Amino acid sequence: MSVSPADPRVGVWLIGARGSVATTVITGCAAVTAGLHAPTGMITETDLFADCGLPALSSLVFGGHDTVDCPLPKRAEALVAGGVLPHGLPSAVAAELAAADREIRPGGPTPGDTHDPAELVDAFAADIRDFVRRYGLSRAVVVNVASTEPALAEPVLADPAIAGKAVVETARGAAASVGAAHGGAALPPSSLYAAAALRAGCPYVNFTPSTGLHHPELTSLAESSGLPYAGRDGKTGQTLLRSVLGPMFAERALAVRAWSGTNLLGGGDGAALADPAAAAAKNAGKERVLADTLGAAPEGETHIDDVPALGDWKTAWDHIAFDGFLGTRMILQTTWQGCDSALAAPLVLDLARLTARAHEAGLTGSLSDLGFYFKDPVGEGPSALGDQYAALAAFAARLRELSGEGL
């Protein structure tokens, strides 16, 4: 990509860089930059974020970590075959895909890996710093788009003596080590990557329901790092709809008796979420939105079924039982069918640009105003989509004001 000196380059370091979402992000950014496709789904390309000083799409440079070795061009062709990407697009942006593929480094831990957690964090952070240095980047944002991890059990440390050693040195350089200790086990992979991001001095976005910075041994580190961070679990389909319908029932004073849901999906997500513990992590955010917007959790459960034949497509059904005037019983049923990668990719690009701009502007801590994008947002904020959009608009105004001050 051709970038002018006045438009400094910004890195986007993707955890799970060869997955469907990451491949769609990289391919889509190149396609929009080249004028091959419109930026559909990107809120940062609407008037709301005009004059906010966001990094241009053409300035983004991609790299990342992954534990698989399928080259991005080949992965993109597989997404074409699955109907996710348009025919001919991987060939049209072949140079950009190849460039990003060269910047993907081995992730971990892999089965049988004997590396100490501290060694893995050191290696991951070194990869990110090297990426920033070689490209002369003004900054880089680390975004987790890897498969969902199993949910952690109740966070009780096995040994209090380990607790003070279970975090990595902060971005300020204070010495500490990554030990371990969630129930005596090592930090989960998402937390290792999150710690590495902070150690490398990079803002972090968790687009998955995995633990990341939510681990009790990383919370204080994140808060003291002086870096902005956002997450978690991108809101792309069923929960997006719930965050609209839940407030509708509450504001119309309609009593919801039960709310049940089913998700059918294939691909890597379907395989990962076939693990009940991983599905529990995913469903927690879906159910929390209902409890927050309705005032209490309704009866009913959400199920996730792996259907490999669906590939990267998913179907989500919701069955809502509610009472109307004089106790009249009624039902609302919804069906959401879509491609998760195509829904997620524009949001990931938005979040990378917004978080990079927040970092440039000197904002620190949890970016709660970005809750619009997440099922389980960090920090304090509303759960209803309309209220979240208002918070996002206020964030845009703040960035616009900061951009004006820099002129």
| Single pTM value for the model | 0.88
DSSP per-residue codes, 81-124: HTTSS-TTHHHHTHHHHHHHHHTEEE-SPPTT----HHHHHHHH
Helix and strand numbers, DSSP H then E, in the chain: 13, 13
Q: How far apart are CA 340 and CA 234, in angstroms?
A: 10
**What domains are defined for the chain?**
10-233+342-405 (3.40.50.720), 238-338 (3.30.360.10)
Per-residue pLDDT of the chain (407 residues; tens, 9 = 90+): 334 445 689 999 999 999 999 999 999 999 999 999 999 999 999 999 999 999 999 999 999 999 999 999 999 999 999 999 999 999 999 999 999 999 999 999 988 888 889 999 999 999 999 999 999 999 999 999 999 888 776 443 333 332 333 333 333 332 233 333 333 346 899 999 999 999 999 999 999 999 999 998 898 899 999 999 999 999 999 999 999 999 999 999 999 999 999 999 887 777 777 777 777 776 777 788 899 999 999 999 988 899 999 888 999 999 999 999 999 999 999 999 999 999 999 999 999 999 999 999 999 999 999 999 999 998 888 999 999 999 999 999 999 999 876 54
In this structure, the strands spanning 60-66 and 10-15 are parallel
CA-closest candidate to residue 23, choices 351, 350, 342, 338 = 342
| Alpha carbons 73 and 256: distance in angstroms, whole number | 47
How many Å separate Cα 68 from the centre of its chain?
19
Q: For residues 399 and 50, what is the distance between their CA atoms, to the nearest angstrom?
A: 10
